[in-house]
Amino acid sequence: MTRPRALALAAVVVLAVLPWVLVRYQLSILTDVLIFGLFALSLDLIMGYTGMVSFGHAAYFGLGAYGSALVLIHFGQPIPVALLAGALLAGVIAAPVGWFSTRATGIYFAMLTLAFAQLLYTVAYKWRDLTGGSDGIAGVPKTALFWGGPSLASPRAFYFVVAGAVVLSLVLCRALTRSPFGRALQAVRENERRFIALGRDPRPFKLVVFVIAAVFAGLAGALFAPFRGFASPEVMFWVLSGQGLMMVVVGGIGTLIGPIVGAMVFILVQEVLSSYTEHWMIFTGAIFVLMVIFLPGGLVGTARRLASRA
C-alpha cells in the first residue's frame, strides 16, 4: 500500500473511532471542524485548482443552511432530502451569479462574488416571511436517516452523517481534480491565455466548477443547520467567506485535504483563544497575516515540500 493511501485509511479509522473516545463537547467541535472543513474544501476547488478567488463563498453555505432548515421545519423530511435540497438551492443560485462573475477575471471576479454575496445576505435579512429576518430560523430538527428510519437526534449518530458526507465529498472532489475536467481547470489556473490559444474557451469550465463548489458549500451549510439547530443571516456574512479563505490558506491552497486541516487549526485556535479573550479575531488575524507572508504554501503544502525533500 502506498503511503498516501495508508494515511487516508488511517484517517478514516480515526474518524470512525473518535466518537467513542471523545466527550460530547469535543465531539461537537469535531463535527464543526468537518462541516467547515467541507466548506473550505469546496472553496479550494475554485481557488486552488482554478485560480479564482471568491470573496463571497459563504453565500452558498448560507443558502444550503436555509434550504435544509426550511425543508426540515416545514416538511419534516429525512436528513438526506434536506441535504439534497440545500445543496441544490446553492447550485441553482450559483449558476446565474457564476454566469455574471466568470465574465470577469482575477480581482474583478473576487469583487463581484463579494458584491453578489452581500446582495444575497441582504435578501436573507429582509425577506422576513421566509427567512425570519435577523432572527433566522430556529429549532431545526435532526430528523431521521430515511422515511421511518432511525433518528439522528443523538450527537454521535449525526456525527456519522457529517463524517460520511465529508469523506464522500472529499473522494468525489479528488476524483474531479484528477479527471480530464480537473486537468483542464488546472490548465486555466496555470495559463488562461495559453488555454484560449489552444482553442478552448475557459468560461464554461469556470462556470461549471463554480456551481460544483457552490453545491459542496451548500451541502456543508445543509449539514450545519440541523447540527446547530438554526440558520441565520450570519451564515451568509462576508466574515464567514473570509474565514473560509483563511482555512484554505492556512491548510494549503490546492491540496483539498489542506483546507480541512486549516479548518481544524482555525477552530481549535479559536476555541483556545476565545477562552482567554473575546477579541480573538485580532490574534487569528495576526496569525493569518504572518502565514500569508512567511508560509504561502500553508501547513499541508509546506509539509509535502519538506517530505519530498527528505
Partner 1 sequence: MPHGGILVAISLLLEQLLNALALAGLLFLVSAGLSLVFGILRVVNFAHGVFYMLGAYLGFTVVALTGWFWPALVIVPPVVGLVGAVLESSTLRFIYRRLPIYQLLLTFGLALILEESIRVLYGPTAKGVDPPPLLQGSIPLGAIVYPRYRLFLVVLGLVVGAAVWLFLKRTRTGLVIRAVAQNAEMADCLGADVARVRTLVFGAACALAGLGGVAAAPMTTAYLGMGIGVIVDAFVVVVIGGLGSIPGSMAGSLIVGAAQTWGAYYLPETAMVIMYAVMGAILIFRPWGLFGEEE
Q: Under the rule (CB under 8 A), what is the footprint of partner 1? A: 47, 51, 53, 55, 100, 103-108, 110-112, 114-116, 118-119, 122, 126, 238, 242, 245-246, 249, 279, 281-282, 284-286, 288-289, 292-293, 296
Output the smallest distance, CB 28 to partner 1, in A. 25
Residue 280 CB coordination number (10 Å)? 16
Q: Which is nearer to partner 1, 128 or 156 (CB)?
A: 128
Pick left, alpha or beta for residue 106 (phi over 0 → left; psi -120 to 50 → alpha; otherwise beta): left
Q: Which is nearer to partner 1, 68 or 241 (CB)?
A: 241
Q: Which is nearer to partner 1, 62 or 86 (CB)?
A: 62
* Residue 151 DSSP SS3: strand
Output the smallest distance, CB 116 to partner 1, in A. 7
Q: Which is nearer to partner 1, 172 or 289 (CB)?
A: 289
* Of 60, 221, 244, residue with least CA distance to 137: 221
Let me know the angle formed at the C-alpha of 60 by 279 and 189, rounded to the nearest 5 degrees: 95
* Of 79, 107, 124, 104, residue with least CA distance to 234: 124
Output the smallest distance, CB 193 to partner 1, in A. 10
Burial class of residue 271 (count of CB atoms within 10 Å of its CB; 0-12, 13-18, 19+): middle
Contact criterion met (CB below 8 Å) for 241 and 114: yes
Q: Which is nearer to partner 1, 3 or 193 (CB)?
A: 193
Output the smallest distance, CB 284 to partner 1, in A. 7
* Residue 230 DSSP SS3: strand
Output the smallest distance, CB 37 to partner 1, in A. 19
Output the smallest distance, CB 26 to partner 1, in A. 27
DSSP state of 254: T
Q: How far apart are CA 219 and CA 270, in angstroms?
A: 23
Output the smallest distance, CB 165 to partner 1, in A. 28
Q: Which is nearer to partner 1, 122 or 179 (CB)?
A: 122
Q: Which is nearer to partner 1, 30 or 40 (CB)?
A: 40
* Of 136, 174, 179, 165, residue with least CA distance to 37: 165
Q: Residue type at 19?
A: P
